[in-house]
Each structure stands twice: as C-alpha cells, then as structure tokens.
Structure 1
C-alpha cells in the first residue's frame, strides 16, 4: 500500500528529460490575478501567464516574504523614492529587473530598457525574449 496518492512511475515520467538532456518546459497555466482588487479572475496560459509573472516578480520585494525563495522578487524598492541620479537608475533598473525575471525557465533575456521617471514613480518598458523563440515587445511595468 502506497503512502502517497501519486504513482511513482508517473512522477518519473514527468521528470524525464528530452534527447538533448534538458527538461521540457510544460504549460504555464496559472490564475489570472487582478492586481488592483487582489481577486482571481480565471485561468491564463502562455504569453499572458509570462507577462503576469514578470509584473508580479517585479512588484514583489525580494527576501521579504517567507513563501517565496530567495530568487523570487525584485530589489527595485531599495532605490525607488530615493534621491538617486538618472545615471544610476539607467544602470541599476535593467540589472534588477533582469535578476528578477531571467531565472524563470520560460525567459531567455530582457533588453531595450526605456525608463521614464516621474517623481518617485518609474515607468519601465522593455523587450523579453522567451525560450520558445517568441519576443514580447513593449512589456511595461510601473514601480
């Protein structure tokens, strides 16, 4: 009698790798979150799920919430609202966003950052290359 409802053979099949030796990336279905109300509004997948991951990873402070590991989240709030030069913002914001999102296995890279500053708010627009070959252009986040 098994102590778990999971069939070990099925679990082994899920963990197998393809011929090239890399794990196959599965579907990215997740709940659609309304960031303003905090409500769940259905299910999303593919590009929309990646865009939501990017938004949530950048909005979440790194190492502040025990539910997330140390790789999840962003450290942008450490420089937002502080009296830092535009040159520092131009260097640090892309680095911090890349660190927040590029560990996800669906994301290859982030590039072409455009940063607009308005008081203590930033509007950041950039492109994201996915591992499936797609490029999401004009990804925009407000922090």
Structure 2
C-alpha cells in the first residue's frame, strides 16, 4: 500500500481556496463593523477590488486592484472610451479571485463626473448583482 507524503519545496505552496469569512467593511464610512461570509464576502471583495487603484497601494501585490482610475478617470477619457474599456478593467481586477466564476450583463451609465456600473457576478456561492460608482 502506497502512502502519500506531501513534499514541501522551499518557497512553493499548494494552492488553496481563500477563506471567505472576513471583516465587514463599511467602505463609504471607512469603518469595520462585524464580519461577513460567503456571498456577502465575495460582493465586498468585488467592490473593494474595483475601487482600489492597482500599483498605488503598497500593501497589495501587482495583481490586486483596478486600473480604471488611471485609464479612465484620471485622464478625463471620453465616455465612448470609458464604455469600451471599463468592462475589461473590471474583469481583469476580479480575475485573481477564484471565488468569482464569471462577470456578465454589464450596464454603465454616466452622471456628471462619475459612472454607475452594474453587472452580474457568478460566484461559487451563487449569483451576485454588483452596483458600484466610479
């Protein structure tokens, strides 16, 4: 009978699913208020990844966050350009999170100096409707 013994090579770890339970963030007020788990945790992670500028927060690696601010907002891009690239930037920002299976049915509406983004995220916990203002 063969016995499987896991070998841990220095610097190499087995890929593991991220735990879902985390602190509940009130992103609008900048406060921590309890805990969230499962679909609520994924919805919060999606929102946070979209609004966090990539490459500007040293606490995160280069895969975390979104480039929407640099490519669209900071450069005062035209609405046509913004509409054509926002979906791709959102999908790119969410790609590292294995709990998110697919994003679809994007809707973008512009109001004065911001854009309202709505889409559906299929997650391992079910479908989530995401609404964010950028």
Q: Secondary structure at the match of 2:65?
A: coil
Pair 1:128-2:121 in alignment: yes
Q: Displacement of 1:133 after TM fit?
A: 6.4
Report the equivalent of 1:102.
95
1:1-143 alignment runs, 5 A limit: 25=17, 27-78=19-70, 79-80=72-73, 82-130=75-123, 132=124, 134-136=126-128, 138-143=129-134
Within 1, Cα distance between the matches of 2:125 and 2:84? 27
Q: Displacement of 1:96 after TM fit?
A: 0.4
Q: Secondary structure at the match of 1:98?
A: helix
Q: Is the 8 A contact 2:109 2:116 kept in 1?
A: yes
Q: Is the 8 A contact 1:81 1:120 kept in 2?
A: no
Q: Displacement of 1:24 after TM fit?
A: 5.9
> TM (normalized to structure 1)?
0.77
> TM (normalized to structure 2)?
0.81
1:74/1:91 Cα in 2 relative to 1: closer, same or farther (>3 Å)?
A: same
Query: Residue deviations 1:74-131, cap 9 Å, x none?
Result: 111121264433332222000000011121010111111100001220100001111x
Q: Is the 8 A contact 2:104 2:121 kept in 1?
A: yes
Q: Mind listing any 5+ residue stretches in structure 2 that lack a counterpart?
A: none
Q: Secondary structure at the match of 1:68?
A: coil
Q: Displacement of 1:52 after TM fit?
A: 0.5
Within 1, Cα distance between the matches of 2:64 and 2:18? 20
Within 2, Cα distance between the matches of 1:103 and 1:64? 18
Q: Displacement of 1:35 after TM fit?
A: 1.3
